[in-house]
Structure formats: structure tokens, C-alpha cells
Amino acid sequence: MKHPPASPKDTIFQQQIRAEDFEFNDRVVEVFDDMLDRSIPFYKEVVVSTARLLAAHLDKDDTVVDLGCATGSTLLELARLLPEQGLRFIGVDNSAPMLHKARLKAELYSKQDSIRFELADITATPHRAVGAFILHYTLQFIRPIRREQFIRSLYDGLRPGGVLILSEKIILHDKRLNREYIDIYYQFKKSRGYSELEIAKKREALENVLIPFSIEENSALLRQAGFIAVAPFFQWFNFASLIAVKPE
């Protein structure tokens, strides 16, 4: 069995970097898998849960589109977990360095024939009759004013009975609880080896880039787009995942 080389350790914010310099360039892409593993609580469990939901809702030969697919880790894991369903996987991202690494990983696992990667703006995806759209920790990077139209376009792109699976960092409207949840998350990051300086630098870098909504606000977006069945399937403090099903 082939194993990819371990991702280099994320030390981006140990270095002198200004907030405006942070982007998904070659330097960030090189350590992205480590950054993801150490920054997103229970990421692997969310992907496994996503696979279970896809198995329950998708038909054989359905298409799964991962919007903001980054280095392809989610799609590679879904292809491993759902080998019998004949699913077609498409990863879309606007970062060429991310997709270069994703294609290399797909080749390493001999999945280049079942997973296709596209360099594109995810908000302009032309895909139609899709079985499932996946938005793992991606919507939060889209400007709030554009989110309603974007979610509506995904609703239109799904076949009847198709699903949208959304994972996000979230906020709480109760200020005390929100602060407590954020503090617990920072404790989590410290337990994964990040220093207080690294945590503070990354928070500054993402302050005007990552804009989270609450679970209620995300659910309202989904329902306004036409989804009737909307429900959370995972939450860890200020991280949550939801499924939305298009009516048959």
C-alpha cells in the first residue's frame, strides 16, 4: 500500500509574516495538510461522517463535487471509503498550487481516473445534476453578501434528492459562550503544538478573510435557497457540520 510522504510541519506563523501576506501560495500549500490536521478539530471524523451520509443519499454513478478541495484530502478519503458506489469525484479550487499537490496525491493513490480536479472560481461552478456538493470550511471565506446567491446556485445545481454538506467555523450570539468556545479552541491548538504567538498571528491574518456565521444563520441560508431538510450532524464547540437535502 502506498503512503504519501508526511506533510512538512506548519511553521508559517513562526516567521515574520504580515496579515496581508497570507495566501494559499506554494509555501502555505507545502504545509497545508499539517495545518489542516492541527487546526480543524475532528476533521477526519467529519470526513468519515460525510461518507456515511453520501452512502445513504447517493445513487450509483452520482457525481460528488468538493468546492474548495485544496490538496484533495477529502476526496481521496471519500474514494477510499466508498469504493463500491461508482461515484465520480470532482475537486474545484482557485489555487493552482493546491491543485498541483492534489493531482500528485491522486496519482500516488492511483485515483487519477476517478477524481478530476478543476482550477476555477467555486462561486461560478457550472455543474448540474450533481448528487452532492461538499463545502468543508469554505463558505466562511466567501464574502457574506455573496453567500445567499452562491447557496442558491448550488441548490439549482443539485439533482432532486441531492445533498449539500457544509462544515464551518461558527460563532455564537451569546458573547460569553462565544468567548469561552474560542478560548477552548485556542487550548486545542496549543495542545497540537502551536504557540500563543502563532495562534495570535494566524488570528490576525484571517481576521478580515474568514467571517463565520452561526448555525442558525447558516441554516437560514440553506432554507432560503429551497432546502427543506436541514440538520446539523456534528458540532465541537465553535465548529459545526450540517446536511441539507434538496426535495425529490
> What digits encode the pLDDT tens for the residues 6-20?
554 544 554 545 544
Domain of 141, in residue numbers: 42-170+211-245
Arithmetic mean of pLDDT over the chain: 90
CATH of the domain at 144: 3.40.50.150
How many domains does the structure of the chain reveal? 1
For residues 32 and 100, the model is more confident at 100
Q: Looking at beta carbons, which pairs linking 105-110 to residues 24 or more positions away fall under 8 Å?
A: 105/4, 105/71, 105/72, 105/73, 105/76, 106/72, 106/76, 108/2, 108/4, 109/2, 109/4, 109/76, 109/79, 109/80, 110/2
200 pLDDT band, cuts 50/70/90, is: confident
Q: What is the pLDDT of residues 62-92, one digit of tens each?
A: 999 999 999 999 999 999 999 988 999 999 9
Q: Any idea what DSSP says for residue 129?
A: S
Residue 183 maps to a domain: no
CB 201 within 8 A of CB 210: no
Contacting residues for 15 by C-beta, under 8 A, at least 6 apart: none
CB 198 within 8 A of CB 124: no
CB atoms within 10 A of CB 51: 18
Q: What is the pTM of this model?
A: 0.90
Residue 130 maps to a domain: yes
Residue 162 maps to a domain: yes
Residue 206 maps to a domain: no
Q: What is the pLDDT of residues 88-117, one digit of tens each?
A: 999 999 999 999 999 999 999 999 899 999
Q: Could you give the 3-state DSSP secondary structure of residue 80? A: helix
Residue 107 maps to a domain: yes
For residue 135, give the C-alpha cell: 463545502
Q: How confident is the model at residue 3, as a pLDDT?
A: 46
DSSP-derived pairing of the beta strands 130-136 and 115-119? unpaired
